Amino acid sequence: MAKGSILIIDDNKSILSALEILLMPEFKSVNTISNPELIPTELRKNDYNLILLDMNFKAGVNNGNEGIYWLSRIKEIDAQISVVMITAYGDIELAVKALKTGATDFILKPWDNDKLIATIKTAIELNLSKKEVNSLKEHNQELKNEINRDSKYIIGSSAKLMQVMNMVRKVAKTDANILITGENGTGKELIAREIHRLSTRANEVMVSVDMGAISETLFESELFGHVKGAFTDARENRPGKFETANHGSLFLDEIGNLSYHLQAKLLAVIQNRQVCRIGSNQPVPVDIRLICATNKNLEAMVHEGLFREDLLYRINTIQIEIPPLRERGDDILVLADFFLKKYSSKYNKPSLRLNQQANEKLLGYPWPGNIRELQHTIEKAVILSEGSVLKADSFFMKPISNHKSAKAPQTLEDMERQMINQAIENSQGNLSAAAEQLGVTRQTLYNKIKKMGL
């Protein structure tokens, strides 16, 4: 028995009976109706692979308009379903009109049984193929959605962050190459994902590559792919990251870590928009949106002969600088509250909160590790907490002088910044004590902290 569910629609009950007797042994299920008005209800109740539809239903009317009308209605309800029209000999022109309207095929009365069954089987296979393709498309879309889904958020409302987000919104709809710069832990990948999310490629994948984590020997295989047998462990054809990101976005993180001789190979692909897999001479065109990120000063590296100037020009059509956390003011507390809720839930301590002294300590610390350091600090405090309130001494941060970010003051503002940081550190985050040490009011100190983004 062939697979497939069939619905036969004809006002001639003798034809319905004859077709039902012929087709029942051949197919999974065969249903019949004589009134076409029942078509919408029947299609909502049951799932069919094929419909056999008569061209005429009213006595004395043979123009086929009814068949064309119901064909259109069926296609509105289920565009994938196969419809084979039943028409009288001599109405070939009418049958062609039905094909243009969406019919899969037609049969002539009187029909040849073997030819009829063959026509139906072919039409059912077409329907099953369409359903399979549609299912694969849906699965592919779900996979893309899953890949692009990210549980992290861009949090904050400081003026500096808003400047970044305004720039992101402006450039996202273009295909311009973007270079995102900033210290480690500032959220460069989150900004890259936001650019992709707001772009015209949002329904495609964004592929992320940590350039610092790829060894030189695997660089070409990872980015450009290889063919089976290209080297010892190449047991199958494999696309590289460029091909995987085709029609989507490619995010190259820590691009400043790429060695000089590999930069030339990357430049060639970016310029030509095509890759050659290792072991193949056949170029494969790629259509990607390129987003790069680094915590290094690439212009200084160019002057030092460590980074190609032509590659720098290629990757930074637009440059977006992410501000360090210490320059984002009250965003520190907003992020701290977000991480507190996250880890309070994770470690089953839902009633935890920060007191004023804890907030002041968090605001007064320069966060050289930026958001990543704040996140780890909050998580550690939640894990070690015993009461319901996190205080200033619940947080353990390294002395400021131990961080690479501490440097000799160059201006009066730098000196004032360091004095404030040192006073806050000495008073363990107590702003009142720090203000007294500095000889200013607590409000004056708080205003300076906000102004300097400490």
Domains and CATH numbers, the chain: 2-137 (3.40.50.2300), 159-323 (3.40.50.300), 326-452 (1.10.8.60)
On whether the pTM is more than 0.85, the answer is: no
pLDDT tier at 47 (50, 70, 90 boundaries)? confident
Residue 82: is its pLDDT beyond 90?
yes
Q: What is the mean pLDDT of the chain?
A: 87
Residue 146: is its pLDDT beyond 60?
no
Calculate mean pLDDT across residues 221-249.
85
Calculate mean pLDDT across residues 240-248.
91
pLDDT tier at 142 (50, 70, 90 boundaries)? low
Q: Which amino acid is at 73?
A: R
Among 111, 114, 108, residue whose Cα is nearest residue 55: 108
Calculate mean pLDDT across residues 20-34.
92
Tens of pLDDT along 376-399?
A: 999 999 999 988 999 999 998 877
Burial of 281 (0-12, 13-18, 19+ CB in 10 A): exposed
Looking at residue 405, its pLDDT comes to: 44
Q: Which of 297-306, 315-324, 420-429 has the lowest mean pLDDT?
A: 420-429
Looking at residue 138, its pLDDT comes to: 63
Tens of pLDDT along 197-223?
A: 999 999 888 999 998 888 888 898 889
HEC letters along the chain: CEEEEEEEECCCHHHHHHHHHHHCCCEEEEEEECCHHHHHHHHHHCCCCEEEEECCCCCCCCCCHHHHHHHHHHHHHCCCCEEEEEEECCCHHHHHHHHHHCCCEEEEECCCHHHHHHHHHHHHHHHHHHHHHHHHHHHHHHHHHHHHCCCCCCCCCCHHHHHHHHHHHHHHCCCCCEEEECCCCCCHHHHHHHHHHCCCCCCCCEEEEEHHHCCCCCHHHHHHEECCCCCCCCCCCEECHHHHCCCCEEEEECHHHCCHHHHHHHHHHHHHCEEECECCCCEEECCCEEEEEECCCHHHHHHCCCCCHHHHHHHCCEEEECCCHHHCCCHHHHHHHHHHHHHHHHCCCCCCEECHHHHHHHHHCCCCCHHHHHHHHHHHHHHHCCCCEECHHHCCCCCHHHCCCCCCCCCHHHHHHHHHHHHHHHCCCCHHHHHHHHCCCHHHHHHHHHHHCC
Residue 402: is its pLDDT beyond 50?
no
Distances (CA, A) of 208 to 201, 247, 288, 345, 434: 15, 14, 12, 29, 44
